[in-house]
Amino acid sequence: MEEKINFERPRPFSSGFLIPFHQLKKPIELVVQTSKIEVFPKTLAIYISPETNLHQQIEELDTFAVELLQKNNNQWFKNDLTKDAIREKYSRTLSSDNYIQLKCSSSHPPKKVYLDDVLQEDWTRMMKLLDRSSDTIDTIYITLICHGIYVQRKGFSLLWKIPKLNGYSLTDISNDTEIEECKKEIEQFWLNEIKSYDQQVHQEIALLEKTILAKKERVKHYLDILMGCQKYMSSEPEWNTSIEYIKQQLFKYRTPTVS
């Protein structure tokens, strides 16, 4: 994740406890762009492509949650669960086929539901349109909020909610006016992708800078040894040892040039 994740101590929630997550004093918000969604009576299964940075962000959140529980579980909940037991009891967000399942029904629909940017009141009708058997909706933008870790006796998982869902119809999405209206969601999605890629690039640069620094220090070390040779005669063992060391190290690390 781009920003540091802050967390609070567990507090009672429903039939368990919630360990709240925040970024910049707000709940963690992600935007999903998808065309693959499966509708069930009480849940929506949303496909997250493994090729997107969003997939990586969700995986990182799960990893953070597991490590946080492993570090603080005994102190917070006064039990003797081992790290392996916590890992086994933790349900990761994404399934093996890269779907995230979220509770969503006619009694608990998203707060803001749109079809082609028009607010919808009938969630039951919207569920039928969202069903993969329907050819009405082509692209769906879903806002996901991660509220933190939901801790229950049976196990642990992240608590996700959908505050907003916007579906765009196949026929209207090609219209310039409709594209203009949904541009905010499109731009936000790709902004998140760019930010995640930027974080990845900076991590790669940091590793390269470490490697460069190590190589520079290695060169300085060899030069220092060579300068130290000047105080010995070539017949002295210290001179031979130093030269042999430099030779071995250069053969070990130097990349051969190709003519």
Q: Record the tokens describing residue 37, joined without a space.
A: 């969604």
- What is the set of domains in the chain, with CATH numbers? 6-175 (2.40.50), 182-254 (no CATH)
Amino acid identity at 99: Y
Give the model's pLDDT for residue 173: 45
User: Distance (Å, rounded) from C-alpha 87 to C-alpha 67?
Assistant: 9
Predicted confidence (pLDDT) per residue in 76-131, tens digit: 998 889 999 999 999 999 999 999 998 887 778 888 998 888 899 888 888 888 87
Q: Are 134 and 144 in contact (CB under 8 A)?
A: no
Comparing 5 with 179, the larger pLDDT belongs to 5
Averaged pLDDT, 240-252: 87
Token pair of 259 as six digits: 């003519």
User: Shortest CA distance to 143 belongs to which of 54, 42, 61, 59?
Assistant: 54
The pLDDT tens digits of the residues spanning 9-65 come to 999 998 899 999 988 778 888 888 887 888 888 888 999 988 888 899 999 999 999
Q: Which tokens hold the place of 83? A: 């790290």
Backbone angles phi, psi at 101, to 5 degrees: -100, 130
Q: Would you say residue 259 has pLDDT above 50?
A: no
pLDDT bucket at 207, cuts 50 / 70 / 90 = confident
- The pLDDT assigned to 123 comes to 87
How far is residue 56's CA from residue 34's CA, in Å, rounded to a whole number?
Answer: 16
Which pLDDT score is estimated for 132?
A: 61
Instruction: Tell whether pTM > 0.85.
Output: no
Burial tier of 126 (Cβ tally within 10 Å: 0-12, 13-18, 19+) = buried
When pLDDT is cut at 50, 70 and 90, the band that residue 258 belongs to is: very low
Residue 3's pLDDT band (boundaries 50, 70, 90)? low
State pLDDT tens for residues 119-178.
998 888 888 888 765 567 878 889 999 999 999 989 999 999 999 998 887 654 445 555
Q: What is the mean pLDDT of residues 188-209?
A: 83
- What is the pLDDT, as a whole number, of residue 148? 95
Q: What is the pLDDT of residue 134?
A: 59
**Residue pair 170/136 in contact by the 8 Å Cβ criterion:** yes
**The predicted structure's pLDDT at residue 182:** 67
Only one residue has tokens 């993969």, namely: 132
CA distance 219 to 232: 21
